[in-house]
Amino acid sequence: GAVVSQHPSRVICKSGTSVKIECRSLDFQATTMFWYRQFPKKSLMLMATSNEGSKATYEQGVEKDKFLINHASLTLSTLTVTSAHPEDSSFYICSARDRRLNTEAFFGQGTRLTVV
């Protein structure tokens, strides 16, 4: 089946630094990718929808200047957490949809971000 690769799987960074998370569709073209955030023992909350070649659509309450999303190609979307704070520590997970398939979406392995 289709594979979505997310990198890194774990990252620890210092407060004030920026962290980039990559989401790649390995064997299909993804016009749309989604970024989710999951707090411990909580559900997945959609942060933004990333569309190839255009600006991302952010959900209400998500700071677009803090969570920069770039979807420069049909196989890669990146999420950059800028000026990270400890409260940004969370599990971030992306999903990508194969545009040939009807509504199917595949998820990356997730990235556990810890800001110290």
In angstroms, how far is the first alpha carbon of the chain from the final one? 37
Among 7, 20, 66, 112, binds other proteins (CB under 8 A): 112
32: contact with other proteins by CB under 8 A: yes
91: contact with other proteins by CB under 8 A: yes
Let me know: does 20 contact 79? Beta carbons within 8 Å.
Answer: yes
Distances (CA, A) of 102 to 4, 11, 15, 72: 17, 34, 41, 23
82: contact with other proteins by CB under 8 A: no
Q: Which is nearer to other proteins, 83 or 99 (CB)?
A: 99
> Cβ of residue 17: shortest distance to other proteins, in angstroms?
23
